[in-house]
């Protein structure tokens, strides 16, 4: 991690990088007032993408930075509130997210949860699989950022929405990684 600090200076926080990137992506899609669910999904997808890239680039040497990214994302999402159903775009994704919650609390898609519960449910139900999936898509014209742009835009705004701003979101994700490296 010392190399990254020397090169980039460590001037930004992960939280500010997450918020700035989210705001730019919401602006691209003309969303002036994102819902708490949209903010949650953007935070989780950015966190997972950041973890994937930092893990891949750092070859395991950036574990502290990855942990810090997760913790700052978790803190950023705490004040949010949404219904569980707002976190998913399809029945399969909803089932995955709902499976994270203990069965004795009888969560339904209309159950309102706080940001911490939503973050944990999304992160633990799909984080590892999505992180691996993003890293495995390193070929093609835009590589992992291009694939992550599709996953993220469709995840936040709905299936098929990535087509509308694919190139722009891909560029934002490349900028996100540059800014994350400045925060290390």
Tell me, what's the pLDDT at 182?
86
Cα 151 to Cα 166: distance, rounded to the nearest angstrom? 10
Q: What is the value of pTM for the model shown?
A: 0.88
Structure tokens at 95: 């089932």
Cα 184 to Cα 180: distance, rounded to the nearest angstrom? 7
59 has a pLDDT exceeding 80: no
**Three-class DSSP category at 114:** strand
Burial class (CB in 10 A: 0-12, 13-18, 19+), 121: buried
Tell me, what's the pLDDT at 33?
97
Q: Which of 3-12, 20-29, 32-41, 167-176 has the lowest mean pLDDT?
A: 3-12
Ranges of H-type helices in the chain? 2-8, 14-28, 36-58, 63-77, 91-100, 115-136, 143-157, 166-183
45-54: burial string, b at 16+ Cβ within 10 Å, e else = bbbbbbbbbb
Which tens digit of pLDDT belongs to each residue from 75-99?
Answer: 999 999 999 999 999 999 999 999 9
Residue 57 pLDDT grade (very low, low, confident, very high; cuts 50, 70, 90): confident
Count of residues for the chain?
184
3 has a pLDDT exceeding 50: no
23 has a pLDDT exceeding 60: yes
Q: Which of 14-18, 61-65, 143-147 has the lowest mean pLDDT?
A: 143-147
Rounded to 10°, the helix 63-77/36-58 angle is 180
């Amino acid at each position: 991690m010392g190399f990254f600090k020397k090169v980039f200076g460590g001037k930004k926080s992960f939280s500010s990088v997450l918020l700035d990137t989210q705001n730019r992506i919401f602006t691209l899609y003309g969303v002036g007032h994102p819902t708490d669910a949209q903010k949650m999904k953007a935070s989780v997808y950015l966190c997972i993408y950041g973890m994937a890239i930092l893990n891949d680039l750092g070859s395991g040497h950036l574990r502290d930075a990855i942990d810090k990214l997760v913790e700052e994302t978790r803190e950023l999402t705490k004040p949010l509130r949404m219904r569980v159903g707002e976190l998913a775009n399809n029945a399969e994704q909803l089932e995955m997210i709902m499976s994270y919650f203990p069965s004795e609390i009888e969560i339904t898609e209309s159950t309102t949860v706080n940001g911490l519960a939503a973050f944990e449910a999304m992160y633990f139900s799909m984080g590892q699989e999505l992180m691996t999936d993003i890293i495995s898509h390193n070929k093609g014209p835009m590589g992992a950022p291009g694939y992550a742009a599709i996953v993220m835009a469709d995840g936040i705004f709905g299936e098929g929405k990535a087509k509308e701003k694919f190139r722009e979101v891909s560029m934002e994700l490349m900028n996100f990684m540059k800014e994350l490296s400045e925060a290390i």
